[in-house]
Amino acid sequence: MRESVHRHLGKVVAGAAIAVAATAVMIGITLPGTAGAQGTGGGAADGPSTGQAAPGQAAAVAPGVVEQPPAQGAQGKGSDPLTDDEIARVERIALDRQQFGAAQNVEGERGPQRLTVDLAEPDAGEVDDPAAPRRADVTFYDYRDDTLVTRTVDLAAGKVVRTGVQHGVQPPLSRAENAEAARLLIADPLGAGLRADYRDATGRDLTSPDQLLLNGAVYRAAPGAQPAALDKCGEHRCVRLFPKVVNGPWIDARYLVVDLSAGRIAALDRG
C-alpha cells in the first residue's frame, strides 16, 4: 500500500469517472395581499378590497394550497407499488430466525445486509391476468460468504415461494454500505488525505461518515489493473467512494478502494 497521499481539496471530479451536477430549483411563492401590488417608494398600490382587480392592475392570486398525499393502505393491489406495511411484512417473512443468525451484515453483525425490496415481475403466464398473485422480491447480501440472496414472497399467502443464491453478483450499494466504507476509510492511514481535506474545508476534524454526503460505486478487479490486495473485488464487495463535504466541495477519493468483505483499503495506481 502506498503511504503517500495526494490531496485534492475542492476539486470537482469531472469526465467519465464521475459527473455530478447539483441543480438548485427556486420556487416563487406569492404571499396573500402582495399580488398585483404596484408600490412606489416601497408602499403597496391602492386598490379595491373586493378581490376584483382595478383597471390596469393584475388580479390578486389566491394563496396556494398544499394537498396532503392520499392515505397509504396496508395492502396494495395489482401492480401498485409496495406499501410501507407490505415492505415491513415481506422483510419479516423473507428472513426467519435461523437464516438471520447464520448470516452477517456489512458491519460484521448478525443478519444479512438488506439491499432492496421491490414488487416482483409477474410470471410469463400472468402478465395479463388481473388476479395474478402479488409478490415481492427481497434481496440481501450475506458478508459471511459473499452471496447475494433473493427471496420472493407471495403477499397473499404470506410465505416465501422462491429463493435464489448467487456468487459474484454485485448490485448497487446500500446507504449503510457506503457509510461503512467511509468509516473504514476515515480510520485508515490511507484516509489521511480525506481527513486533511475535510479539515481544510471546514476547520473541523472528520470523525464520522455522517459528516459527509456519500456516493459509491461497486469496484470490480481487472487483470493487472490494481494492487494484488484488490484482486478479489467482484467476488468480494468493494466500493469506490465519492465523498462530498456537506454544503462544501467534493473530495477526490477515487483512487482508494474499500474491500468491505475483507475490511481493508488499497490505493489504485494513478499513473
Chain segment 113-144, per-residue pLDDT in tens: 999 999 998 888 777 777 788 899 999 999 99
Q: What is the reported pLDDT for 255?
A: 93
Q: What is the pLDDT of residue 45?
A: 41
Q: Are strands 264-267 and 147-154 parallel, antiparallel or unpaired?
A: unpaired
All 3 cell numbers of residue 42? 416601497
pLDDT in tens, 166-206: 999 999 999 999 999 999 999 999 999 999 999 999 999 99
Q: Measuring CA to CA, how many Å separate 78 from each of 117, 131, 166, 238, 264?
A: 16, 8, 29, 37, 45
What pLDDT shows up at residue 54? 52
Q: How many other C-beta atoms lie within 10 A of the C-beta of residue 181?
A: 28
Are 107 and 143 in contact by the 8 Å Cβ rule? The answer is no
Question: What is the average pLDDT across 52-81?
Answer: 62
Would the pTM of this model clear 0.95, i.e. be above it? no
Task: Give the pLDDT of residue 58.
Answer: 54
Instruction: Report residue 65's pLDDT band, with 50, 70 and 90 as the boundaries.
Output: low
Q: Which among 151, 148, 141, 150 has a CA at the least distance from the CA of 166?
A: 148
Helix, strand, coil shares, percent, the chain, to 5: 20, 25, 55
Render pLDDT for 31-47 as a digit per residue (tens, 0 to 9). Answer: 333 333 344 333 334 34
